[in-house]
C-alpha cells in the first residue's frame, strides 16, 4: 500500500437482512483513498453510497473483505474499539447536521475535543479558530435552533474539523440546504481540504458537488462503475 | 496502529475526567429542559415516592414511639405501665412464690431514697400486684389488682398527653386521691357487677399468711384501660389499701422513671451497680421496659415487615415508572446517540449522560418530596385525625406524623438510587442499536 493511502478497501461486501431477505448493499468493492484527496461517491439512492461511507468512517463493518486505515488492518477490530480512532482521526458531517440542540455553537464543537484529552486552553483556541474559519464567531453562544440551515452545517463542519482529523466523512451534506447555501458549503469544504490537507469523502448525487470533486467514484447496485 | 485500536478514551481523558464529568453533568441538566413535561412527570414520580416514604416513616416513628411510651407509662395490654425499669427481688421469675408477697420488696422507703439519689432518676413508683374477688353482695368476680401511689402514677400516665393531647389518662386516677378507702374498676368488670360510682363493695384477697382477708371499699371510678380484655378483671387501688388487705408492708416492685431514654442501657447498668453498692440488704433484679414488652415487640416486628414491604413497593414503582420514562427519552434521542458514538464518545460516556440526567431527576425529586413531606406532615398533625382503635384496643388515637429526620438520608439515597438505576434502560437501548442503526433511526 503506498504511503499516501489513507483508507484502503479490498473486496468489500456488505449484506443486510430485511426480515429473512438478504440485501447486498455492497458487492466486492475495492479502492483506495489517498491523503488530502477530495472524493465524491456519486450514484442514485440505494446504490450503496452511505453503506460504503459508513465503512470508510469506521462506524460499520463489511460482511466480507478487508479495511485498512493508515495501513493498519481494522477489519476485525470491533466497532466499540474504534472509538478512539474515530475521535482522533475522523470527522463526520451529516445531512441533517446532527448537532446537539441543548449545546451552544461553542459547546457543540468543544464536545468531542473534551474526550481527546486536550487542556482547556487548547480546546478554547481550537473551537474559536474553527468557528472563526467557518464564519460563526458571532454565533458562538447561540444554540443550533437559532441558526439557519447553512449556519448549522457550517457549525457541523467546524465540529468535524476542530479535532484535526485526517479524514472527514460527509453524507449528503447539502441535501437539506438551498442551492446558495449548498454551494457555499461545498466551497468551504474545498477550501478546508486545500488549507488543512484533510481528506474529504462525500456521498452525494448532486452534480454541482460532483463537479467540485477531485476524485469521482460512481456507484450502482452496490458496485463501483465507470462514469 | 495500537494506540487507535485500544478502547482507551477513558485512559487518555483520565486526567480531565473531573472536567468532563462537570461538562456531562451540565449537558444532562440541560437535557432535563428538552421535554419539560416528561421531566416534570419524572420529577413528580420521584417527589411523590419520596413524600410517600417520608410520611410512612414519619407515621411509623410516631406509632413505634407511641407504643413504647404506652408500654412504659400505661401498659400496652392494659395492665400497668412498666416505667423505664422495674426493680424486683432477685428471686422473682427464678423461683415460684408460694405465699403472697413472699418475694416482695421490704424497707421500701429507704430503697426509694437510695434510688432517687441516682442523678438520672426522675421518680420512683412503688406497686403491689395482687389478686382476689370483688363482690357486690350478690355476685363475686375475680380481679387482678394494682396498688399504687396515685400522685406518682398520675405523673406517669399523664406523660402520654405529651404524645397525644386527647389522652387525659392521668385524670382517670383522680378519684384515688380522695383519701377514701376505694377502688377503680375496669369498665367491663364494673358492668358485670352492675356497679355504679359510689357503690360499696367487698374486696377479698389472701394475706401473707395464706388467710382470706376482706375489706369494704367504695367504687370511686370506672375506667377503660384501652384493652377490652383487661377491662374484664382490672382493679386499681391505693397502695395502703392493698397492703392492709394483704397484711404486709412489702411491695411487689418499684417502677423507676429516668429523666430521658438517652444512653438507656448505660443508665440501667449504672443503677444496677449503684444498688449493689448502696443496698446490700437485698439482692435486686432490674428489668428494663423492653424485656417486659412482648406485645410491643411483636407489634413492632409486624410494623417493620409491613413498612419494609410498603417501602420496597414504593421504590419499585418509582423505578419502573422512571424506567419507562428513560426508555422514551432514550428512544427520542437515539439519532443523537448515534452521532455521539460516531464522533468517538464511548457507550460509557453516553450512558453517563443519561445516568446523570436520572440522578438529577432523583435529587430534584427528593428535595421537592422532602419539602412537601414537611408541609403535609404539619397539615396532617394539625388536622388531629382520629384513627380507629388498633385490634384488641378500645381506645381511638390521633394520627401523628413525626419528622423522622434520622431516616431521611436513607429515603433520599433509596429514591436517587432507584431512579439512577432506571437509567440502565438507556444503556440497554444504546447497546441494542448499532451506530448506523441509531443514525438511521427516525
Confidence at B301, pLDDT banded by 50, 70, 90 = very high
- Kindly state the average pLDDT of the residues B221-250: 88
Nearest to A117 among B5, B7, B12 (CB): B12
Instruction: CATH number of the domain at A22, please.
Output: 3.40.50.300
Is B257 in contact with B85 (CB distance < 8 Å)?
no
Sign of CA dihedral B332, B338, B340, B345: positive
Predicted local distance difference test score (pLDDT) of residue B77: 53
Give Cα separations from A8 to A66, A92, A217, B368 (angstroms).
Answer: 8, 19, 14, 58
Mark whether B172 and B236 lie in a shared domain.
yes
Q: Which of B336, B338, B347 sits opposite A100 (nearest CB)?
A: B336
What average pLDDT does chain B have? Answer: 86
Considering only B255-259, B318-322, B419-423, which range has the smallest mean pLDDT? B255-259
Same domain, B132 and B205: yes
pLDDT of residue B176: 80
Can you name the residues that pair with A29 across neighbouring β-strands?
A12
- pLDDT(A1) > 50: no
Average pLDDT over residues A65-88: 90
Domain boundary among B239, B270, B291: B291
Enumerate the H helices of A2-143 as residue ranges.
49-56, 83-89, 105-114, 120-133
Q: Could you say which residues from 343 to 372 on chain B have a Cβ atom under 8 Å away from some Cβ of chain A?
A: 343-347, 349
Selecting from A80, A102, A103 the residue whose C-beta is nearest the C-beta of B7 gives A80
Nearest CA in chain B to A81: B7
Distance of CA B11 to the CA centre of its chain: 51
Q: Are residues B274 and B304 in the same domain?
A: no
Burial class of residue A141, CB neighbours in 10 A (0-12, 13-18, 19+): exposed
CA pair distance B199, B185, nearest whole angstrom: 12
pLDDT band at B5 (very low <50, low <70, confident <90, very high): very low
Q: How many domains is chain B partitioned into structurally?
A: 2
Residue B115 has pLDDT above 90, yes or no: no
**pLDDT for A117:** 84
Side-chain-side CA neighbours of residue B240 (13 Å): 8
Nearest to B9 among A74, A87, A120 (CB): A87
- B125 with B217, same domain: the answer is yes
> Is residue A112 domain-resident?
yes
Secondary structure (DSSP) of B320-355: HHHHHHHHHHHHHTHHHHHHHHHTT--HHHHHHHHH
Dihedral in degrees, nearest 10, Cα atoms A115, A118, A123, A129: -110
Residue B74 pLDDT: 76
Cα B101 to Cα B84: distance, rounded to the nearest angstrom: 23
CB < 8 Å from A in window 98-157 of B: none
Q: Are residues B311 and B176 in the same domain?
A: no
- Confirm if B220 and B180 have CB atoms less than 8 A apart: yes
Q: Cell 425499669 sits at which residue?
A: B85
Span B210-215, average pLDDT: 89
Q: In this structure, what C-alpha cell is assigned to residue B8? A: 482507551
Q: What is the pLDDT, as a whole number, of residue B8?
A: 47
pLDDT at A160 over 90: yes
pLDDT value of position B2: 39
Band of pLDDT at residue B1, cut at 50, 70 and 90: very low
Query: How many structural domains does chain A have?
Result: 1
Same-domain check for residues B264 and B334: no
pLDDT tens per residue across span B19-61:
999 999 999 999 999 999 999 999 999 999 999 999 999 999 9
Domain boundary among B272, B291, B310: B291
Residue contacts between A and B (CB atoms, under 8 Å):
116
ipTM of the complex: 0.94
Q: Is the pLDDT of residue A226 over 80?
A: no
**Residues B170 and B267 grouped into a single domain:** yes
pLDDT in the model for residue B394: 66
Establish if A227 belongs to a structural domain: no
Do B334 and B435 have their domain in common? yes
**Distance of residue B439 Cα from the nearest chain A Cα, in angstroms:** 9
Strand order in the sheet with A5-18: A21-34, A5-18, A64-69, A72-73
Range in A184-193, B139-148, B271-280 with the lowest mean pLDDT? B271-280
Residues of A in contact with B31 (CB under 8 A): 102
| Identity of the residue in B14, B335, B344 whose CB atom sits nearest the CB atom of A86 | B344
In chain B, the percentage of residues whose pLDDT exceeds 70 is 90
Residue B13 predicted with pLDDT over 60: no
Q: Which residue is it, cell 466497532?
A: A79
Residue B73 placed within a domain: no
Q: CA A123, CA B102: separation in Å to the nearest integer?
A: 91
Whether A226 is covered by a domain: the verdict is no
Contact between chains at A85 and B1 (C-beta distance less than 8 A): yes
Q: Which of A74, A99, A102 best tests the B interface by mutation, with the highest count of B CBs <10 A?
A: A102
Q: Which domain holds residue A46?
A: 5-221
Residue B265 lies in a domain: yes
Distance in angstroms (rounded) separating the CA atoms of residues B407 and A190: 64
Q: Are residues B127 and B205 in the same domain?
A: yes
Decide if pLDDT at B87 tops 80: yes
A92: closest chain B residue by CA: B343
Query: Domain residues for B225?
Result: 79-291
pLDDT in tens, A40-67: 999 988 899 999 999 999 999 999 999 9
Q: Are residues B366 and B256 part of one domain?
A: no
Residue B430, SS3?
Answer: helix
**CB-based contact B267:B119 (threshold 8 Å):** no
Through-space distance between the first and last CA atoms of chain B, rounded to whole angstroms: 35
d(CA B87, CA B112): 10
Of the listed ranges A152-156, A209-213, B155-159, the one predicted with least confidence: B155-159
Q: Are B285 and B145 contained in the same domain? A: yes
Both B57 and B184 in a single domain?
no
Residue B333: predicted pLDDT: 94
Residue B193 pLDDT > 90, yes or no?
Answer: yes
| Confidence class for position B151, pLDDT limits 50, 70, 90 | confident
Q: Are strands A167-171 and A90-93 parallel, antiparallel or unpaired?
A: parallel
CB contact under 8 A, A117 and B23: no
pLDDT at B396: 75
Average pLDDT over residues A26-45: 93
Which tens digits make up the pLDDT trace of B90-107?
888 788 877 777 888 887
> Smallest Cα–Cα separation from B359: which of B313, B405, B421?
B421
| Assigned domain for B74 exists | no
**Does residue B72 fall inside a structural domain?**
no
Amino acid at each position: 500500500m503506498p504511503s499516501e493511502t489513507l483508507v484502503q478497501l479490498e473486496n468489500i461486501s456488505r449484506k443486510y437482512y430485511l426480515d429473512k431477505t438478504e440485501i447486498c448493499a455492497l458487492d466486492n468493492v475495492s479502492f483506495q483513498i489517498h491523503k488530502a484527496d477530495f472524493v465524491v461517491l456519486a450514484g442514485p439512492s440505494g446504490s450503496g453510497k452511505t453503506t460504503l461511507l459508513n465503512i470508510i468512517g469506521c462506524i460499520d463493518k463489511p460482511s466480507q473483505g478487508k479495511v485498512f486505515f493508515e495501513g493498519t488492518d481494522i477489519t476485525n477490530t470491533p466497532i466499540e474499539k474504534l472509538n478512539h480512532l474515530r475521535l482522533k482521526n475522523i470527522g463526520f458531517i451529516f445531512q441533517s447536521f446532527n448537532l446537539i440542540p441543548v449545546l451552544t455553537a461553542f459547546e457543540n464543537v468543544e464536545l468531542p475535543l473534551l474526550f481527546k484529552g486536550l487542556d482547556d486552553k487548547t480546546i478554547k483556541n481550537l473551537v474559536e479558530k474553527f468557528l472563526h474559519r467557518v464564519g460563526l464567531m458571532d454565533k458562538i453562544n447561540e444554540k443550533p435552533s437559532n441558526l439557519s440551515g447553512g449556519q448549522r452545517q457550517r457549525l457541523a463542519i467546524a465540529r468535524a474539523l476542530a479535532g484535526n482529523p485526517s479524514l472527514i466523512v460527509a453524507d449528503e451534506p447539502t441535501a437539506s440546504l438551498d442551492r446558495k447555501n449548498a454551494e457555499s458549503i461545498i466551497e468551504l469544504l474545498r477550501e478546508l481540504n486545500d488549507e488543512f490537507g484533510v481528506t474529504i469523502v462525500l456521498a452525494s448525487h448532486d452534480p454541482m458537488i460532483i463537479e467540485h470533486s477531485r476524485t469521482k467514484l460512481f456507484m450502482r447496485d452496490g458496485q463501483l462503475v465507470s462514469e | 496502529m495500537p494506540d487507535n485500536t485500544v478502547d482507551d478514551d477513558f485512559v487518555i481523558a483520565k486526567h480531565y475526567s473531573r472536567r468532563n464529568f462537570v461538562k456531562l453533568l451540565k449537558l444532562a441538566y440541560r437535557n432535563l429542559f428538552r421535554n419539560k413535561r416528561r421531566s416534570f412527570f419524572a420529577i413528580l414520580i420521584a417527589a411523590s415516592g419520596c413524600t410517600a416514604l417520608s410520611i410512612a416513616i414519619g407515621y411509623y416513628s410516631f406509632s413505634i414511639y407511641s407504643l413504647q411510651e404506652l408500654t412504659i407509662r400505661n401498659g400496652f395490654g392494659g395492665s400497668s405501665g412498666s416505667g423505664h425499669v422495674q426493680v424486683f427481688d432477685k428471686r422473682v421469675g427464678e423461683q415460684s412464690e408460694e405465699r403472697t408477697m413472699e418475694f416482695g420488696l421490704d424497707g421500701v422507703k429507704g430503697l426509694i431514697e437510695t434510688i432517687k439519689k441516682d442523678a438520672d432518676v426522675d421518680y420512683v413508683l412503688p406497686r403491689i400486684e395482687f389478686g382476689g374477688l370483688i363482690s357486690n353482695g350478690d355476685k363475686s368476680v375475680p380481679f387482678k389488682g394494682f396498688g399504687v401511689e396515685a400522685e406518682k402514677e398520675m405523673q406517669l400516665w399523664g406523660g402520654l398527653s405529651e404524645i397525644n393531647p386527647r389522652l387525659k389518662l392521668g385524670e382517670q386516677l383522680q378519684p384515688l386521691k380522695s383519701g377514701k378507702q376505694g377502688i377503680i374498676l375496669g369498665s367491663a368488670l364494673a358492668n358485670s357487677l352492675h356497679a355504679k360510682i359510689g357503690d360499696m363493695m367487698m374486696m377479698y384477697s389472701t394475706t401473707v399468711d395464706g388467710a382470706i382477708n376482706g375489706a369494704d371499699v367504695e367504687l370511686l371510678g370506672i375506667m377503660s384501660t384501652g384493652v377490652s380484655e383487661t377491662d374484664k378483671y382490672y382493679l386499681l387501688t391505693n397502695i395502703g389499701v392493698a397492703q392492709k388487705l394483704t397484711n404486709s408492708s412489702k411491695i411487689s416492685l418499684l417502677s423507676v422513671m429516668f429523666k430521658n431514654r438517652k444512653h438507656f442501657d448505660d443508665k440501667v447498668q449504672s443503677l444496677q451497680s449503684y444498688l449493689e453498692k448502696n443496698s446490700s440488704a437485698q439482692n435486686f433484679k432490674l428489668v428494663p421496659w423492653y424485656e417486659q414488652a412482648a406485645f410491643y415487640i411483636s407489634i413492632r416486628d409486624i410494623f417493620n415487615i409491613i413498612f419494609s414491604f410498603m417501602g420496597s413497593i414504593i421504590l419499585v414503582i418509582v423505578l419502573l415508572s422512571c424506567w419507562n420514562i428513560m426508555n422514551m427519552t432514550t428512544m427520542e434521542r437515539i439519532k443523537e446517540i448515534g452521532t455521539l458514538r460516531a464522533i468517538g464518545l464511548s457507550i460509557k460516556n453516553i450512558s453517563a449522560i443519561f445516568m446523570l440526567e436520572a440522578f438529577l431527576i432523583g435529587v430534584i425529586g427528593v428535595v421537592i418530596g422532602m419539602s412537601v413531606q414537611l408541609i403535609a406532615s404539619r397539615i396532617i398533625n394539625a388536622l388531629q385525625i382520629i384513627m380507629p382503635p388498633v385490634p384488641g384496643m378500645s381506645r381511638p388515637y390521633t394520627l401523628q406524623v413525626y419528622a423522622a429526620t434520622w431516616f431521611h438520608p436513607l429515603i433520599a439515597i433509596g429514591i436517587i438510587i432507584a431512579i439512577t438505576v432506571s437509567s440502565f434502560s438507556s444503556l440497554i437501548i444504546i447497546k441494542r442499536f448499532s451506530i448506523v442503526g441509531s443514525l438511521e433511526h427516525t
